[in-house]
Homo-oligomer: A and B are copies of this chain.
Amino acid sequence: MTEGEGLAARRRAQGEEVASAVDAARLLSLVDEVSSQGALPDKGVERLALTESDLAARRLLVDLARSLGATPFRDAAGNFFFRWRGQADLKPVVIGSHLDTQPQAGPLDGALGVCSGIETMRALTTTGIQTRRPIEVAIWTNEEGCRFAPGTMGSAAFADPGLLESFKASRDEHGVSFGEALGALDSSFQDVPLRELCRPLSAFLEVHVEGGSVLDVNAGQLGVVDRVQGARWFQARIIGQSAHPGTTQLSRKHDALMAAVEVASRLYELLREGDEHLRLTVGRMRVEPGSINVIPGKVELSIDLRHPDSAVLDSVEALISAMAGPVVGCDVTLERTMLAEPIEFDNRIVDLLERNSQRLGLPCRTLASGSFHDAVRLARLCPTGMIFVPSIGGLSHNPEEWTPPRDMAAATRLLALTAVELADQDGN
């Protein structure tokens, strides 16, 4: 065995040692603890970006990271990082996800990826292993985009700081801007030092629930994500004329909801045309004045469009845009509010994750992601990979969202092994 071979073998053994130190019960208990921040009375979690429960969950993890000996810091986009020092001050390997959720959501979307990162750090603590590079656990701000649109604001601004100013102007439905909400976070976390956006990273890895039904949950199958489909959001604004429903004949009606139903029907027609990869959802419909006995004068609706192929996205966008104009006596305007192009993850990371799942004896399948993630933004910046855990019933963005704890631990072992190996790699 040459000296180089010996080093490589030691590094491999080091990764396996950390992976073995991953503790399933400890991980599950952390997931539970994070879920208690924003827990809904009955079941599920609602922890919208930069609300009190989001800040409380961050505080919990800042304290925990410090107690483990990691150094917390943050950036101007509200992203948090817990740094586990390396042998040298090289570009770090970053692992993590987001803490914010949809309304009436489950406990895992986002939080599991952060908790897997923390558990990896705990396994490093247990083994006393120090990798060549630092390993950081990241919490990205506002991945969901439901309080402040668009989504993945934190990771997008990290990768492209020029975006931050426009993000800051985005307002929630109570009129609070993202910039103002960041100000509140800033006040609460004066003890956590700031670092710059867009620092060079060596690699980024994210564990996440699949939120779909491709992985075989009964077989405990993990997913290695090799690409992510593109997503585009649109906002349609429909102006009619509110009027009395008892006196206004059909021919004189300018019923904005009637027009909205027509627009939605045309969208659903596109969905039924048979492209099995096409996803089209109207998730939000706001009706004004929204009274039983008033013909609606105004409706706003959201459109979420997804497909793995940019060309298809372009052609469906053209069809959606063509819906603007007069519809049953009302005026429809459309605006695109988010664009996330389909991406492919770095082959080397995909290969490494596949090899490592075999080494750990974990059933695994390579798949495309239907949902977008912070990893999509980081992929611009450094070699990036994602590990999916299966979702029971394919559910996500739902209080019933869950994954067998065995699979959460398995994904964390794969994360730990791969992160340690990447952190031990040569180079600057």
Contacts and interface: CB of A to CB of B under 8 A. Distances in A.
A2 interface: no
Nearest to A247: B212
Given A244-B397, A370-B244, A371-B244, A283 B292 contact: yes
A397 B291 contact: yes
Contacts of A105: 289, 294
Looking at chain A's contact residues, is the secondary structure mostly helix, strand, loop, or mixed? loop
A142 to B, nearest CB: 12
A372 interface: yes
A297 B398 contact: yes
Give the number of times this chain occurs in the complex, counting copies: 2
Interface string A271-304: 1100010010111111111111111110000101
Contacts of A306: 245-246
Contact of A245 (B276, B281, B286): B281
B279 A245 contact: yes
Contact of A396 (B244, B252, B284, B394): B244
A354 interface: no
B302 A283 contact: no
8 contacts: A102-B291, A105-B289, A213-B247, A245-B397, A246-B372, A247-B396, A257-B283, A297-B398
Interface of A: 102-105, 144-146, 149, 151, 210-214, 229, 231, 233, 241-250, 252, 255, 257-258, 261, 264-265, 268, 271-272, 276, 279, 281-297, 302, 304, 306, 369-372, 394-398
